[in-house]
Amino acid sequence: MSDIGGFIHDEIPSAEVDRIEAAYGPLTAAVRELIDATIRTTVSPEEAGLALAEVEAVVARLRKEQLPGPAGVRFNSEGRAWNWGNAAVGLRNAIAPPLDITHVRSGLAHATVDLGAAYEGPPGLVHGGVTAMLLDHLMGETAAASFTRITFTGTLTMVYRRGTPLGPLRLDARIDREEGRKVWVVASIGDAEGPTVEAEGVFIIPKWAVPE
């Protein structure tokens, strides 16, 4: 393994990456269910205590062998890349709703997401910070122009038009303009009745990532 700007060259064959994803996708989905159930259950504190012991046993099973730190972003020589730990889209991150992104073409993307009880802020509504997180992620991927370059968030401005209801949502993003290492992206998130939050962001291509 070698490390380029924090991106780790990890020579796992793509077939093995597929096999790991096939096992860990369902586990992550089950952990998402557990997060939701921990919020919504009305079983007794005694039952919660039994659940606690069971969860601790699963954690012990998984922690027998583990990475020393976060997952990072990895790639192999076959051109396969994976970022299982990503907070918005990571295949093995139960915090990620996940956001399901479609890149229509370079600089144009949309996404769908279905947000349940774990993403609540005001009663029945999505936490304003969660909409910011999802918009930031989709905008960053859009700025990266079909993954042909790396970008970091520079500035991000969000205008909240109305509350975003929990449930199915759609996001849209496109590159508005570019100048040197700066990329302007506009985006929105909303429900069937239209946008609830509109966003503009400036994304920066780091100097080290620009070919000389």
Site membership for a copy of itself, residue 109 (CB under 8 A): no
CA-to-CA distance for 130 and 48, rounded, in angstroms? 27
Site membership for a copy of itself, residue 69 (CB under 8 A): yes
**DSSP three-state, residue 11:** coil
Token match 């304003």: residue? 128
Adjacent-strand bridge partners of 38: none
Our measurement of the distance from residue 177's CA atom to the centroid of its chain's CA atoms, rounded to an integer in Å, reads 24
Nearer to a copy of itself, 164 or 175 (CB): 164
Count, residues near a copy of itself per rule CB under 8 A: 92
CB of 116 to a copy of itself, least distance (A): 7
Nearer to a copy of itself, 63 or 105 (CB): 63
- The only residue of 98, 107, 140, 195 in contact with a copy of itself, by rule CB under 8 A: 140
Taking the C-alpha atoms of 161, 166, 168 and 173 in order, what is their torsion angle to the nearest 10 degrees? 40
CB of 52 to a copy of itself, least distance (A): 5
Asked, as a colleague might, if the bond just before 98 is cis with ω within 30 of 0, I would say: yes
- The only residue of 9, 13, 56, 168 in contact with a copy of itself, by rule CB under 8 A: 56
Site membership for a copy of itself, residue 31 (CB under 8 A): yes
Strands 182-191 and 194-204: antiparallel
Give the contacts of 4 (CB within 8 A, at least 6 positions apart). none
Nearer to a copy of itself, 99 or 175 (CB): 99
CB of 12 to a copy of itself, least distance (A): 11
CA-to-CA distance for 88 and 59, rounded, in angstroms? 22
Site membership for a copy of itself, residue 52 (CB under 8 A): yes
What backbone phi and psi angles, to 5 degrees, belong to 26?
-60, -35
CB of 112 to a copy of itself, least distance (A): 17
Site membership for a copy of itself, residue 149 (CB under 8 A): no
CB of 103 to a copy of itself, least distance (A): 18
- The only residue of 17, 133, 169, 205 in contact with a copy of itself, by rule CB under 8 A: 133
CB of 14 to a copy of itself, least distance (A): 15
The total of other beta-carbon atoms located within 10 Å of residue 66's CB is: 7
- The only residue of 80, 103, 116, 149 in contact with a copy of itself, by rule CB under 8 A: 116
